[in-house]
């Protein structure tokens, strides 16, 4: 999987940092997570192919996390998309977007689905052979959820150079799924252990947009390969973080450390900080493998 950061600022507009938006690449499709104002322009700038979007996840309805959605959907509509697109978000999002489309005379010409997430209890939003998307409640000033997106263990990898060139196609699937194959004609047995290797292990990405420091989220983000966690403030503003239901850098790092994640990416920085050196230093004092989100940056895991 790959995460591309499109914005790392918090609510107040900043020239140096854009509002929330991240794109997760899973195989050949994209998941957009949060969509602050102007997200579609940053998708263009950083060469994110809008046509490959399959899901949009909105964590909560503060403007810096979804004010870019109507613009993006209008653009997608102009691109004559035919593929379905599903938007997951809190109660009210469907109503807001539908009203905007109605009064702007925009008829959506592609299959657009809205699915309301439960902001009170964890749930599985979506699952297929490749991915699983789960939500968990975050404590913020309005209903808000975090996401845990896992790419499942892939099927076994076939060592095709070891197989005869006329090896029947249906046998490939049997090998991929971990079975031994007995060739009906020759009677020869192809042992799975000899002709395949392990597939890709499971990969986990967790996303905590806006939240007060809350250790109850630890089980939901546990063992993530990459954890995205807000760090609006540094620790000397802990009181302010508490009052506004946000987190500090060291609080984000405590979550990362206790959840045994591999890497932490900090984001949603307050406009009061021109330099973020102290934010990074503060997080690394607790959890060494911490990084600052930066627009345009890509992280593979
Ligand atoms: Zn918020």
Do 162 and 149 share a structural domain? no
Q: Which of 194, 267, 185, 187 minimizes the C-alpha distance to 227? A: 267
Residue pair 34/20 in contact by the 8 Å Cβ criterion = yes
Do 38 and 14 share a structural domain? yes
CATH code for the domain of 113: 3.60.15.10
- Who has greater pLDDT, 258 or 168? 258
- 38 Cα to the center of ligand 1, angstroms: 17
Q: Domain range spanning residue 53?
A: 2-154+200-300
Say what the pLDDT of residue 235 is: 93
Say what the pLDDT of residue 103 is: 94
Do 296 and 242 share a structural domain? yes
Among all residues, which ones are annotated catalytic?
A: 64
Going across the sheet that includes 131-138, the strands are 123-127, 131-138, 144-151, 203-208, 226-230, 264-267, 290-292
Say what the pLDDT of residue 13 is: 80
Residue ending a domain, among 167, 196, 225, is 196
Say what the pLDDT of residue 154 is: 85
- Who has greater pLDDT, 289 or 16? 289
For residue range 52-106, list pLDDT tens digits in order: 999 999 999 999 999 999 999 999 999 989 999 999 999 999 999 999 999 998 8
Residue 14 has pLDDT above 80, yes or no: no
Residue given tokens 């263990």 in the structure block: 153
Lowest mean pLDDT among 89-93, 151-155, 255-259: 151-155
User: Where does residue 165 rank: exposed (0-12), middle (13-18), buried (19+ CB within 10 A)?
Assistant: exposed
Do 168 and 291 share a structural domain? no
Do 149 and 97 share a structural domain? yes
Residue 219 has pLDDT above 80, yes or no: yes
- 143 Cα to the center of ligand 1, angstroms: 9
User: Which residues lie closer than 8 Å to 272 by C-beta, 6 or more apart?
Assistant: none
Say what the pLDDT of residue 172 is: 86
- Mean pLDDT of the chain, nearest integer: 94
Do 44 and 186 share a structural domain? no
Residue ending a domain, among 196, 223, 255, is 196
Residue 255 Rama label (left phi>0; alpha psi -120 to 50; beta): alpha
Do 132 and 169 share a structural domain? no
d(CA 252, CA 268): 12
- 60 Cα to the center of ligand 1, angstroms: 7
Percent of the chain scoring above 70 in pLDDT: 100
d(CA 108, CA 81): 10
| Tally of structural domains, the chain | 2
C-alpha atoms less than 13 angstroms from C-alpha of 206 in its C-beta half-sphere? 28
Do 165 and 280 share a structural domain? no
- 216 Cα to the center of ligand 1, angstroms: 19
Do 72 and 16 share a structural domain? yes
Confidence label for 1 from pLDDT (cuts 50, 70 and 90): very high
For residue range 20-63, list pLDDT tens digits in order: 999 999 988 999 999 999 999 999 999 999 999 999 999 999 99
User: Which residues lie closer than 8 Å to 57 by C-beta, 6 or more apart?
Assistant: 31, 32, 33, 34, 88, 89, 125, 133, 147, 207
- 210 Cα to the center of ligand 1, angstroms: 5
Do 231 and 93 share a structural domain? yes
Do 183 and 88 share a structural domain? no
Do 127 and 80 share a structural domain? yes
């Amino acid at each position: 999987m790959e995460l591309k950061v499109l914005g790392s600022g918090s609510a107040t507009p900043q020239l140096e940092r854009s509002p929330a938006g991240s794109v997760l690449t899973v195989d050949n499709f994209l998941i957009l997570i949060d969509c602050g104002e102007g997200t579609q322009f940053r998708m263009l700038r950083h060469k994110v192919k809008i046509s490959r979007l399959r899901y949009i996840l909105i964590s909560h309805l503060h403007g810096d996390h979804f004010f870019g959605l109507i613009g993006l959907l209008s653009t997608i509509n102009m691109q004559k998309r035919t593929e379905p697109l599903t938007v997951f978000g809190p109660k009210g999002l469907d109503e807001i977007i539908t009203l905007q489309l109605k009064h702007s005379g925009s008829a959506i010409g592609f299959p657009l689905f809205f699915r309301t997430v439960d902001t009170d209890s964890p749930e599985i939003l979506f699952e297929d052979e490749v991915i699983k998307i789960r939500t968990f409640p975050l404590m913020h000033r309005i209903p808000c959820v975090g996401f845990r997106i896992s790419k499942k263990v892939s099927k076994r990898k076939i060592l095709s150079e070891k197989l005869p060139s006329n090896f029947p196609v249906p046998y490939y699937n049997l090998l991929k799924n971990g079975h031994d194959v007995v060739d009906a004609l020759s009677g020869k047995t192809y042992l799975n252990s000899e002709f395949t290797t392990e597939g890709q292990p499971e990969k986990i990405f967790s996303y905590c947009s806006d939240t007060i420091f809350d250790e109850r989220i630890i089980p939901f983000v546990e063992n993530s390969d990459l954890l995205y966690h807000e760090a609006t403030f540094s620790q000397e503003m802990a009181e302010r973080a508490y009052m506004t239901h946000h987190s500090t850098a060291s609080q984000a790092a405590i979550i990362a450390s206790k959840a045994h994640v591999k890497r932490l990416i900090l984001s949603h920085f307050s406009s009061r900080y021109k330099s973020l050196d102290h934010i990074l230093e503060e997080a690394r004092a607790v959890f060494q493998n911490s990084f600052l989100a930066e627009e345009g940056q890509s992280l593979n895991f």
